[in-house]
Amino acid sequence: MKQARVLTDAEFKRLLAVVTQMKHAGRNRLALMLSHLAGLRVGEIAALTVRDVIDGEGKVREQLRLRAEITKGGHARVVFLNEKLRREIERHRADWRENRDVDAPLLLTQKRTAFSANTLCQLMGQLYKSAGLDGATSHSGRRWFITRLAHSGVSPKVIMTLAGHRNLTTTQRYIDVRDEMMKAAVDLL
C-alpha cells in the first residue's frame, strides 16, 4: 500500500492558505494542525473533547492525555502541545458561537455533531485535494510530524513514544527521505 505523501514546507503553507479561504476555516485549520503539529491520527482528532484541550481554569493545556479507548493500539498516551498549536486552539475557541460544554466535541460538523473518524478523513482528503496536493491523505500530517522530528535529530525512542508506537520499525516506516536530505547528510562529512 502506498504511503501518504509528506508535504514540503511550501506545500504545507499553501494548504493552510487555501483552507483559510474556505468555509469552516478555523475548524479545518485546527484539524490539520493537530495532525501536523501533534502527530495525531484522524480518529484521535475526531474523538477529542473540549475538556481534553482546555483545563478547568479555561486555559489551553500544554499536554493532553489520549484515553486508551480512542487510540489505535488501545494504549493511553500523553501528547504535548507546542506554543504554535496552543495558539491555534485558542484561535479556534474564539470562533465558537457559544460556550461549549467540557464534554462537547472539540471539532463539530456543519450539523453541530461530532465527526466520525471516517468523515474527518474524507474532509481532510478534500482539503488536500483543494490545495492540489495529490497523494496527500489524513495520514500525511502524522508522517510530516514524525519525519520532521527525525530530521531534527530527535531520538528515535522519543519519536516512537510521541507517535504512540510500540515498535521502532513502525516509526521508521513513517520517515520520509528525499534527495536533498541525503545530500545534506553527506555534506556534513
CATH of the domain at 104: 1.10.443.10
Distances (CA, A) of 51 to 19, 26, 142: 26, 19, 23
In a domain, 168, yes or no: no
In a domain, 49, yes or no: yes
Pull the grid cell for residue 20.
Answer: 483559510
In a domain, 72, yes or no: yes
**Tell me: the pLDDT tens digits for 100-119?**
889 999 999 999 999 999 99
The strand pair at 63-66 and 77-80 is best described as antiparallel
How many domains does the chain contain in total?
1
pLDDT value for 137? 95
Distances (CA, A) of 27 to 34, 150, 156, 166: 11, 28, 32, 31
User: Which range of residues forms the domain containing residue 68?
Assistant: 9-141
pLDDT value for 99? 78
Q: Is the model's pLDDT at 48 over the cut of 70?
A: yes
C-alpha–C-alpha distance, residues 189 and 184, integer Å? 9
Contacts of 116 (CB under 8 A, 6+ apart): 46
In a domain, 85, yes or no: yes
Note the pTM of the prediction, 2 decimals: 0.91
pLDDT value for 1? 62
In a domain, 161, yes or no: no
**Torsion of the alpha carbons at 161, 166, 170 and 176, rounded to the nearest 10:** 0
In a domain, 179, yes or no: no
In a domain, 4, yes or no: no
In a domain, 174, yes or no: no
**Tell me: the pLDDT tens digits for 118-154?**
999 999 999 999 999 999 999 999 999 999 999 888 9
